[in-house]
Amino acid sequence: MNAAQRTVIENCAIATVDAADTEYPSGHLVLAGNRIESVGPGAAPAGLAGVVRRIDATGHLATPGLVNTHHHFYQWLTRGLATDHNLFDWLVALYPTWARIDEPMVHAAAQGSLATLARGGVTTAIDHHYIYPRGSGDLSGAIIRAARDMGVRFTLARGSMDRGESDGGLPPDFAVETLDGALAGTEETIDRYHDASFDAMTQVAAAPCSPFSISTELLRQGGELARRKGVRMHTHGSETVEEEKWCHELFGMGPTDYFESTGWLGDDVWMAHCVHMNDADIAAFARTGTGVAHCPSSNARLAAGIARVPDMLAAGVPVGLGVDGSASNESGELHTELRNALLINRLGAHREAALTARQALRLGTYGGAQVLGRATQIGSLEAGKLADLVLWRLDTLAHASIADPVAALVLGAAAPVTASFVDGRQIVTDGRLTTVDEDAIARSTRESARRLARLRPSGG
């Protein structure tokens, strides 16, 4: 959008999620091009030139767009399977099916995952994609194309696995790449797609999958590659007791010490889950600025446990929210994770203030921007930042009797999204995507899921 063109939004409650948690019971936002020009109480300044649109947002809450920090889009095609399994059993049950994905399937799954996130107020998303079967086509390109077409700000965390069963890993050998192949594929993806600019719509991170599916060399060299290229690093860590035990048996240390020994703690790293962390692990994350993608629903679905988010926040660890792959979180929605994060972190006696509604909103917005290294650009509503924001409708039956709009958004039912803007462009209107055809995506995901199911090995 032209920088001289202004959109004025007025008469809504605003939760800016800035450093002071500034809120306005009734305020305004002015968007100029792809930036927020001003935000404040009451009506917008009079006499603004170039106003092309005025939105009367009475009955709404404006927040920063939600930031999803962990996902595996391809799993959109394998939802509702292995429904009563822990992580390792679930992985072993699903790997043989996952290893049969191809480019059209991955594209359809990315569209389904992104559409579900976006219509629920997500404006920035990542996909941690780590399965690249031989001859499956340009999977990274297909995922990035889906995000660009939808208009969602996006990081492809280019994943990889090189430790198959014959090397003591969990995935079958046919589902993994070689060390050199994984590194070359990651480097090529960075060179081709990573945009380091302030208003980048596409970024790439280096993201070896998890300790039990990658060699120590891939972890070490993958990290070195990321730092040489100036991109962020992402992986899974400390998800389950089984993983912790596995690390002790194989490496003689727990996951966090293993990551530190391979160069994988730092303010350019974020890690999914971090459920099984002792005090020293949390202190190491805080000292190094390592970020966490908290995935409460997935952790519950796989009985992984409850991450110590309140302790992490108290120690100063950057924490964002993630839905995780849709095979372990069938809903694939981030707005409902605000509520789930709050509720799950309160489980247990005397934990009634373990996580507040405002902290939950911060995890889903500014916290996510922090762990993706983009907190100067997105994650809060402040003049000069990118125009990524959501108008949540709170005047219907579901929320109208709740006076506090942030409590309504976090504790109430999933609020309807009247409008969602990314980079100043409206991509959702009245809960429907404006950039793509949702019904066509529903059909193609169904066809792809059926095709993949037919390829599933018998007994798998």
Instruction: By CB under 5 A, name the binding residues for Zn ion.
Output: 272, 324
Whichever of 201 and 206 has its CB closer to Zn ion, that residue is: 206
- Pick 113 or 426: Cβ nearer Zn ion: 113
CB of 69 to Zn ion, least distance (A): 11
Scanning the structure block, which residue is given the tokens 């046919």?
174
CB of residue 442 to Zn ion, shortest distance in Å? 24
Pairing of the two strands 425-429 and 417-422: antiparallel
Q: Which residue is nearest to Zn ion (CB)?
A: 324
- C-beta of residue 60 within 8 angstroms of C-beta of residue 391: yes
- Which helix (H) or strand (E) segment holds residue 315: the answer is helix 309-315
Write down the least CB distance from residue 91 to Zn ion, Å. 10
Q: What is the DSSP letter of 386?
A: B
Question: CA 111, CA 44: separation in Å to the nearest integer?
Answer: 36
* Shortest distance, position 235 Cβ to Zn ion, whole Å: 9
Closer Cβ to Zn ion, 7 or 328, answer by number: 328
Which residue, 324 or 337, is less far from Zn ion as judged by CB?
Answer: 324
Question: Residue 201 or residue 272: which is nearer to Zn ion going by CB?
Answer: 272
| Cα 287 from Cα 202, distance rounded (Å) | 29
Closest to Zn ion by CB, 143 or 272 = 272
Backbone dihedral angles phi then psi of residue 15, each to the nearest 5 degrees: -110, 105
* CA gap 367, 72 in Å, rounded: 20
- Smallest gap from residue 249 Cβ to Zn ion (A): 22
DSSP 8-state class, residue 424: T
Shorter beta-carbon distance to Zn ion: residue 281 or 324? 324
What is the enclosing helix (H) or strand (E) of 115?
A: helix 103-119
Q: Which is nearer to Zn ion, 297 or 365 (CB)?
A: 297
Closest to Zn ion by CB, 39 or 272 = 272
Min separation Cβ 234 and Zn ion, Å: 10
Task: Judge whether 100 and 135 are in contact, CB under 8 Å.
Answer: no
How many whole angstroms from its chain centre is CA 117? Answer: 9
Kindly give, in sequence order, each residue whose CB lies less than 8 Å from that of residue 156, ignoring residues fewer than 6 positions away: 126, 127, 129, 140, 143, 144, 147, 189, 193, 202, 203, 204, 205
Gap between the Cα atoms of 337 and 298, Å rounded = 10
Give min distance, CB of 293 to Zn ion, in A.
8
Q: What is the DSSP letter of 312?
A: H
Please report where in the chains the tokens 């290229």 appear, as a residue: 229
Residue 212's Cβ-count burial label (10 Å; 0-12, 13-18, 19+) is buried
Q: Least Å distance between CB 380 and Zn ion?
A: 26
Minimum distance of Zn ion from residue 70's CB (angstroms): 6
**Phi/psi class of residue 82: alpha, beta or left (left: φ > 0; alpha: ψ in -120 to 50)?**
left
